[in-house]
A = this chain, B = another copy of it.
Amino acid sequence: MKPKNEKVLSNTQRAVHDLRGMILSGQLAAGTDHLESELAEHLGMSRTPVREAALMLESKGLLEMRPRKGVRILPVSPDDMCEIYDILTELESLAAQKAAEAGYGDDKLVPLAQSIDRMDNAIESEDLESWAEADDTFHRELVRLGGNTRVEKIVEMMSDQVTRARAATLYVRPLPLKSNEDHRAVYQAIRNRDPETAHARHRRHRLHAKAVILEILEKYRFSKL
């Protein structure tokens, strides 16, 4: 049996996927400009699907289309980080609360528990890359359990915008030793169907994360990322 998962993506979809990847990986660096025609050639398609993709990524906040200056990959300033972390704080805490209200059984919480374990292991072996990946999974899964599809979309959008910043600061941050305490507390609150605690604890977690990041940005004089 051949896997029928070979979906036929349109060029526009491919362009969105590829451009997003190139932006998040830093291959298209923050602050740089790129002509539609260059991007089109690089992706092996005409300008039309590239423009459509750029329009979509523009409304996701990853880039900006400026007539005759090309497509600009948007940098993220400390002020932007501040805005984004404030939003993530509110919406993820809401998700934690809703997840606790939903009363999930342990089986539904397995991915959450697993990501916490993976973070423990990663810290043990000081593997920051896998820690970051597991942390992402935890947050994404938490939001998913919150059950608000719009919150999911918004959080994903915001996360995309800070991905480069996270990568840049990962190795100058203190080891997030205490961080998993929060994760566990949130997880337990959801298991115990305690919305108040889930909300409050996750909120605290995010506020702390924001403070840590902003301190780093200040200390290392990162003005654009």
- A interface with B by C-beta (< 8 Å): 48, 51-52, 55-56, 59-61, 83-84, 86-87, 90-91, 93-94, 98, 148-151, 154, 158
Contacts and interface: CB of A to CB of B under 8 A. Distances in A.
A61 B154 CA distance: 12
A150 B90 CA distance: 13
A51 B10 CA distance: 15
Contacts of A90: 90-91, 93-94
A132 to B, nearest CB: 23
A91 B94 CA distance: 10
A93 to B, nearest CB: 8
Contacts of A51: 52
Contacts of A48: 48
A59 B148 CA distance: 17
Contacts of A91: 87, 90-91
B60 A150 contact: no
Nearest to A60: B59
Contacts of A158: 150
Given A86-B151, A150-B158, 4 more contacts: A51-B52, A86-B148, A91-B91, A154-B154
B151 A87 contact: yes
Contacts of A93: 90
Nearest to A93: B90
Contact of A52 (B52, B60, B94): B52
A45 B140 CA distance: 42
A207 B171 CA distance: 42
Nearest to A98: B86
Nearest to A80: B150
A23 B91 CA distance: 28
A158 B154 CA distance: 11
